[in-house]
């Protein structure tokens, strides 16, 4: 497990790599397209299962105060992620 955890998928697919920012740098109401997520195997898989797969559009609904959690819409569902988790999701700002 340890070894696998170290493998992060940051290098990703080249066509997903340009102008990518962390989800946490989007502001309320802004839209982005998921490029990739980084982190341990379990987390990356879980986020994908909750609908955060590459290419999907997300819209920030609100941010909690002081590096608080993020609420955003993905696939018609409102999802809340803690700041730490949200900072592991990388998006391309703007629509698809």
Partner 1 sequence: MPSVMVWLLRYLSNLEGRNLMAKRQLTIALAGNANVGKSVIFNQLTGLNQIVGNWPGKTVERAEGTLYFKGYKIRIIDLPGIYSLSTFSMEEIVSRDYIAVQKPDIIINVVDASALERNLYFTLQLLELEAPIIVDLNQVDFAAKKGLRIDVKKLSEALGVPVVPTVAVTGSGIDEMLSTVIAVSGEEEKLKPLKVRYGKEIEEKVEALKKLVSDNLSQLCTVYPARWIAVKLLERDTDVSGKLKNYKRGKEVLKNAEKLAVELEKIHGEASPVVMASERYGLANKIAKEVTVVEASPRISLEQKLDAVTTHKVLGYPILVAIVASMFALIFIGGNFLIAGLEFLFENLLFHVEEVLSSFLPEIAVSLINDGILAGVVAGITIALPYIVPFYIILALLEDSGYLPRAAFLMDNLMHKIGLHGKAFIPLMLGYGCSVPACIGCRIMETERERFLTGFVVVLIPCAARTVIILGLVGRFVGLHAALALYVFDLVLVFALGRIAFKALPGEPVGLIMEMPPYKKPSIKNILMKTWIRTKDFIYMALPIIVAGSVVIEALYLLGFMNYVVEAASPLMSGWLGLPPEAGIPLVFGILRKELTLILLSELVPLESLTAIQMIVFSLVTMIYIPCIATIAACIREFGWRRALAITVIDIALAFFIGGLAYQLLPLVMTT
Q: Which of 33, 54, 59, 92 binds partner 1 (CB under 8 A)?
A: 54
Q: Are 89 and 81 in contact (CB under 8 A)?
A: yes
List 23, 26, 60, 81, residue binding partner 1 (CB under 8 A): 81
Is residue 22 within the footprint of partner 1 (CB under 8 A)?
A: no
> At a CB cut-off of 8 Å and minimum separation 6, what does 3 contact?
none
Could you say whether residue 5 binds partner 1 (CB under 8 A)?
no
Determine which residue in the list 23, 26, 32, 44 makes contact with partner 1, applying CB under 8 A. 44
Question: Could you tell me how many residues of this chain bind partner 1 (CB under 8 A)?
Answer: 45
> 77: which strand partners?
74
Q: How far is the CB of 76 from partner 1 (least distance, A)?
A: 5
For the residues of 40-92, what is the DSSP string, one character each?
A: -HHHHHHHHHTT--TT-EEEEEEE-TTT--EEEEETTEEEEE-HHHHTTEEEE
| Residues engaged in binding partner 1 (CB under 8 A) | 1, 4, 9, 11-14, 16, 36-37, 41-51, 53-56, 62-69, 71, 75-85
């Amino acid at each position: 497990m340890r070894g696998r955890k170290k493998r992060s998928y940051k290098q990703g697919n080249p066509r997903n790599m340009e102008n990518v920012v962390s989800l946490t740098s989007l502001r309320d109401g802004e839209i982005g397209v998921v490029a990739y997520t980084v982190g341990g195997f379990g987390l990356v898989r879980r986020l994908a299962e909750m609908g955060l797969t590459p290419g999907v559009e997300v819209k920030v609904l609100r941010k909690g105060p002081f590096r608080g959690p993020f609420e955003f819409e993905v696939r018609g569902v409102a999802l809340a992620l803690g700041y730490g988790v949200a900072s592991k999701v990388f998006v391309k700002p703007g629509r698809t």
